Amino acid sequence: MAFGLSLGCCLAAAAQDFKVVWINVGEVVSAGKNAVPMPSGAKVVRVDVEPAIVPLAAGKQVCLSTLQLNAFGTQGRALAGVPLTIEIRQDQRLDLQLTRPNGDFCMRPVRPAEYPIRLTSKLPAPDDTRRGAQIFVRVN
């Protein structure tokens, strides 16, 4: 019983040390359907990416240009050309096999897992915060 308590204590301590670290790996721009050119001084109130879940087989490639990246302004309209940063989990960087062909941003995951990708507007919202969206690449 003492061994069990000791082991449980050590496992709890090890679990507390785990931290998810997000790293910036690039930038894309919004270009959703019916998007209007971004006006000077634009503010972004919402970022949407469709689809939010991307099913993929291990070894197959998906590029962000195949997704709908929408950034919405204060008037509720999608804005074209809003710069969005791309962040991934640092511990998943090698597994994602990131490439940048012709200015696109592509991933070819090597093993089954769920890979979250964050897209955050570089333009502020009216309250000076940053808005973003998260997609999940689900690899089987």
pLDDT of residue 12: 56
Q: How many whole angstroms separate alpha carbon 29 and alpha carbon 12?
A: 42
More confident residue, 4 or 53: 53
Spatial contact of 78 and 36, defined as CB atoms under 8 Å apart: yes
More confident residue, 56 or 18: 56
pTM of the model: 0.84
Spatial contact of 105 and 87, defined as CB atoms under 8 Å apart: no
pLDDT of residue 135: 97
Residue 93 pLDDT exceeds 90: yes
Spatial contact of 72 and 44, defined as CB atoms under 8 Å apart: yes
One-letter identity of residue 6: S
Residue 106 pLDDT exceeds 80: yes
Residue 5 pLDDT exceeds 60: no
Classify domain 21-139 at the CATH topology level: Immunoglobulin-like (2.60.40)
pLDDT of residue 27: 94
- pLDDT, mean over the chain: 90
